[in-house]
Amino acid sequence: MECREKRLSSKRTHQNKERANESAECRAGRLAKQREYDQTKGLNVCNSSTIADEIRKFHTAVSSGPLYICTCCDQLWYKHSVTTAKKLRISNPDIVKYLLSKASVDDVEWICQSCFRYLRKNKIPPYAAKNGMLFPLKPDFFYLNELEC
């Protein structure tokens, strides 16, 4: 058993050295062969995406900006960072004492993932507004847009 592990470790080290020195064309060819092999074996594999695809996904995710207000901590979040408070209110009616009943986008009450994790366990979130963690009010002499705030 020890001999096999040593042999496999040596093989992995050799492959890593080869891959570190391979050209972009060689890498593309190797990955194409691997995908072809996986498809013939009927394996479920995700298509590898390019950096451009990942950048496009990121820009799509943050294009609308942080508009979703957490009804617990009163902070602004992106769409992918919040869930509706309705699900949590139904499953645990005791959490109402930690929520501000503040609706934002689509006139829905949203909860951020960090507050959601605490509330699901019947604990008070550390950044909850009801815990005294409110942002100070903006003075009237500042004329700031949402992003600047």
pTM of the entire structure? 0.52
**Domain region containing 18:** 2-44
**End-to-end Cα distance, the chain:** 62
Residues 113 and 73 in one domain: yes
| Total tally of structural domains belonging to the chain | 2
Residue 30 lies in a domain: yes
Distance CA 21, CA 1 (A): 31
Q: List pLDDT tens digits, range 3-23.
A: 888 888 888 888 888 888 888
Distance CA 48, CA 13 (A): 24
Residues 93 and 127 in one domain: yes
Q: List pLDDT tens digits, range 79-128.
A: 888 888 887 877 777 777 777 777 777 888 888 888 888 888 888 888 88
Average pLDDT over all residues of the chain: 79
